[in-house]
Structure 1
C-alpha cells in the first residue's frame, strides 16, 4: 500500500483507490459512494464545494489500461467515509485523519519562509528556492506582457496577413547569415532589440506591438512549462533591414555582391 495521504497541487489529498484498499471495498463501490455524495451536494446547491474537493482523475493498471478514480480532499474524504460506521472502519478513519494532519504540518513546514527557519543550511536552501521562484514569476509576467502586446500590433491588413504565415525560430534566421542562434540573439541585444530574461529572449517594449514575434508556452509535463518566442515574416524582414543598415547581409546577398564585383 502506498501513502494514505499525498500532496497533489500543493494540497493534501487521498484517492478512491486508497480508500477502497484501506476499507477493503471494491473500487467501483467507492466510486459509487463518491458520486452519490457529489449528487447530493449538487442537489443542495453546493456545486462549488464539490468542484473544490472532488477531482475526477485516472490511473493506469498493471496491464496498461486506464480507469477512472477520484482525488479527495480531507473534507471530501470525511463526507464519503461517514457511511462507513463499523468499529474497524472507525480505526481506518482515525488513521486517515491523523495522516491528513501530519501532511498539513509537513506542508506548512515546507512553505515556511526562509527567515523563519533556524537551521542555517536549510534557511539558505529555502532562500535560494524563493529567489528562483521570484525570478520565474518575474519572467512569467514579462512573457505575458509581451504576449499581450503581440496581440495588439499597430499594423495594416497586409501586416496581419504576414503575421499569420509560418513562424520562424531565430536559429533559422541566424543560419541565413552564417551565424548561430546564440550569436544572432547577442547581436539583436547589442542593437537594442531584445533582452534576456531567465532562459528566454524578450523584445524591448517599443518593439512588442509591431507584430515581429509570437510567444507561446510549451508544456513539458503537468508541473513544468517553457515559453518560446518565434519570429513572424514581418519580424524577419525587420531583422533583415536592421542588419543591412549595419552592413550585415545574408549569405545569399554576399554571394551576389561578390559576383557583381
Structure 2
C-alpha cells in the first residue's frame, strides 16, 4: 500500500502518492489518484495499469463539463532521472477525489475517503489552539507559535495596506476599464499590455487555460472564461473571431502586473 505524507513542495516523485494540504483543505492530484489506483490493483492481483491520459479524459464525464475546468491546472513533478517535468493535472478536494475513485471501484473510493479523512483529523490536531492542549510544555510552545503567527499576520496586513495605498490609482484604472462594455480583437488588445507582443499574449492565454485547441486544431475559448465574460466569439464575414472584453483585458493586465491607463480607453 502506498505511503502517505504531507506535500510541502511544488514537486513530487511520480511513484509516490501524496496528499497535499493548505492547513484547512486536503487535495489529491489526478496523477496521485492514478498512482493510488494502480497500487491498489497490484495489491489485489490486477496488473492492468491505468494511464493518466485515460483518467484525464474521464474527469469531465464524471464531474461534468462545467465543473471539471475548476480543478484543472499545471504542476511540476520530478521524473525518474531527477529532472523536473510539467504536466497537466487535476487537483481535487475530498468530494471530487472520492467521486473519481468511485467511478473505478467502491473499494478504492472507500480507501481514499478513509485516508483523506484521517489526514483531515491529523491537520485538526496540528491546528488545535493552545488552550486545548493538556501538556503544559506543548501548550506553552503552541502559545508562543500563535503569538508569532499573529505578529507575522499583523505585519503582512500593514505591508498590504501600504501597497494598496501606493497602487490605488492602478486599482482604480483596472475597475474603470473592467466596467466598460464591448470587446476588441487581439491585434488591438496587445498594444495596451506594456509592450507585450501579440504572439506572447496568445501564448499566455493558452498557458493560463483561457483558450485551447479543439479537435479540429482551431482556437477555442475555455468554458470558464467565456461564461465569466473575459472572452467572446464574434461572427465575421470570414470566420468566427475570438475577442477579449474590457473586463478580460483588465483581468489579464492585473494577473500580469501590467499597469493600465484608463485615459487610453476613453
Specify the TM-score bucket, using the shorter chain as the normaliser: 0.3 to 0.5
TM-score (norm 2): 0.47
Structure label with greater radius of gyration:
1
